[in-house]
Structure 1
Amino acid sequence: MSILLIDIGNSTVDFRIFDDKKKNIIKVFRPSTNDKSYKSSSKLKKKLEELNQNISSIVYCSVVPEWNDIIRALGSSLKIKVYNFRENLVIQKEDFDLNGVENIGADFLANFIAVKNQYNLKNGLVISMGTASTIFLVQNYKFVGVSISPGLETSLKGLFNNASLLKDFLFHKTNAKIGQSTNDAINLGSCNGHFFMIMGLIDHFKKHFIIKSVIFTGGIANIFKEDIKNLDYVFDEQLIFKGILEIYKNIKREN
């Protein structure tokens, strides 16, 4: 049997399958959150049927409420159980040292559950690079706070929308020491510069807190995975899905 895991973010909806026999997570498809060709339970059902997977349950994590109804309708159409990560998560308040635990985003919670169970993280940072670049701090196994910055693509969209002479382009990390073309200038300042900003925030946290581990995740982090590895930091592209899966395992244990 296979479990359909879904991470519904502000930019993309990432569909993956957990193979219960092989115990691995497989990439399936990842449309834009606003892609109308996917915002239909019937279209999603057809797409999944093409994969010829025997899906027994759906577990999803969402920060986009309008997608919740689509996923529930998909489960109903497939006649399988659907579990919302946030609704099935029992928050252990002793794991948090901050006000308003109930307001923490589902994506933060899923990543925290993952680092708690997969990495036994005691003192460190978890950096997720997506629509926003977020960093949450763990001290003595507790979630104690967050930093939120506009993500790389979000920043570039702002630049292009407000600078009429600049055109959209495929961004990438550059080896240029200085920009001698528009593309190099934007890549150096925006792409490389975004990573430099995160390094600066890591240095800031290291001055004020105990930081023994730094874990990166999120789609944009793929661009910098060699840099992350060279810094002896962890890159875990599947982190949020590991957190979603932990909740599913808890549900099954309780049943």
Structure 2
Amino acid sequence: MILLLNIGNTNLTCGLYRQRIFADDYIPIRQLTGEKEVFRFFHRFLQNSDVSMDEIEGTVLSSVVPEKTALLRHAAESMFHSEPLLICRQTDWEFDSSTYSGVLGTDRLLCCSAALQKYPPPLIVVDFGTATTLNVIDETRAFTGGVILPGVTTGLRALVSGTSQLHDVSFRKLNSAIGKNTTECMLSGATFGTAYMLEGFRKRIQQELGAVATVVVTGGNAKDVIPSLNFSIHYEPTLLLEGLALQANRLRMASENKVKAL
């Protein structure tokens, strides 16, 4: 059994994989200030999943928060007695991303990797997280780039911090675009603004690709935005963990082939 870990800007997301992902959970990253907090979370997660520590054969880890990476790597190694496999851009991906310059988060690559296992390209892979990212895979299965915007809750917090009369709002689905009070007006902007943004980018990206693209959606805020979309999408809530599971499988196969070669 493989423990899957992704360190995001907001949460640490984890899953358990054995032929399929059968358990997942998360914890706000700000709560993980030291190894004691990490150990406590691991113990609770395994206990809730009815899994013992001895059943964990290895750990696969990805991170977009470098200052938390060492903490999680050391904690996982100490608890499960094996060094975690750290996923990075230099990992052996099944698609080409060489035309993209600059920093490219492994979360984006993992989601694209998992989406390619399920759907034919071209693809627009959307992750509604701390940032909202649109990642484009063209018809040759190459990662060609994408879009990065403030996430839904990130945008709401920025709105509050930059104004004197707007208040904190917890994001949730809204059925009417016409807000009847300040809270509903803010939620309308967050919900429908995000939905229409995605619709517009979908049309523009397809124009630039010269092809119709399948839209695959994931991320913590996705389920509240999806009802406001007026085009077909594929919702994959565990897409990132599935990308980590693919890497775990590749690691296992490489290890088995190495043993056979010996």
When normalised by structure 2's length, the TM-score is 0.85
Q: What is the aligned partner in structure 1 of residue 35 from structure 2?
A: 41
What is the rounded CA distance, in whole Å, between the counterparts of 2:35 and 2:73 in structure 1? 8
Question: Match of 2:29, SS?
Answer: coil
Residue 232 of structure 1: how far off its partner (Å) = 2.3
Instruction: Name structure 1 gaps, 5 residues minimum.
Output: none
Verify the 8 A CA contact 1:131 1:153 in the aligned structure 2. yes
Q: What does residue range 132-171 of structure 1 map to in structure 2 within 5 Å?
A: 132-140=131-139, 141-171=141-171
Between 159-168 and 175-184, the greater mean CA deviation after superposition: 175-184
Instruction: Report the Cα distance in structure 2 between the residues aligned to 1:164 and 1:127, rounded to whole angstroms.
Output: 32
1:120-131 matched pairs, under 5 angstroms: 121-131=120-130
Give the counterpart letter for 1:68 in structure 2: T
CA distance in 2, matches of 1:46, 1:34: 14
How many correspondences in the alignment?
245
**1:204-251, Cα deviation, whole Å (9 max, x unpaired):** 1122221231101111112124445x6321010111111111111111
Q: 1:176 to 1:103 in 2, by over 3 A?
A: closer
Match of 1:8 in 2: 7
Q: Mapping of 1:80-95 within 5 angstroms?
A: 80-86=82-88, 89-91=91-93, 95=96
Q: Is contact 1:4–1:15 with CA below 8 Å preserved after alignment?
A: yes
RMSD between aligned residues:
2.1
Cα deviation, residue 32, structure 1: 1.6
Cα deviation code 1:69-119 (max 9, x no counterpart): 111211232113311111772246x6236243x742111111121122233
> Residue 214 of structure 1 aligns to a residue in which SS?
strand
Q: Alpha-carbon deviation of 1:159?
A: 0.6
Deviates more, 1:234-243 or 1:38-47: 38-47
2:198 and 2:8 mapped to 1: Cα distance?
21
Taking the aligned partners of 2:90 and 2:146, their CA distance within structure 1 comes to 23
- For 2:115, the equivalent position in structure 1 comes to 115
Deviations 1:165-198 (A, max 9, x none): 1111222222224222111111112222122111
- Once the two structures are superposed, the pairs formed by residues 162-181 of structure 1 within 5 Å of their partners are 162-181=162-181
1:27 matched to 2:60? The reply is: no
* Amino acid in structure 1 at the alignment position of 2:224: I
Aligned-residue sequence identity (percent) comes to 23
> What residue number does 2:16 align with?
17
List aligned pairs for 1:149-228, cutoff 5 A.
Answer: 149-209=149-209, 210-227=211-228
Q: How far apart, in 1, do the equivalents of 2:77 and 2:138 lie?
A: 41
Q: Which moved more, 1:83-92 or 1:242-251?
A: 83-92
TM normalised by structure 1 equals: 0.87
Q: Distance in 2 between matches of 1:10 and 1:41?
A: 18
1:57: how far off?
1.3
What's the offset of the Cα at 1:124? 2.1
SS, match of residue 25 in structure 1: strand
Structure 2 runs not aligned, ≥5 long: 256-262
The Cα shift of 1:152 comes to 0.9
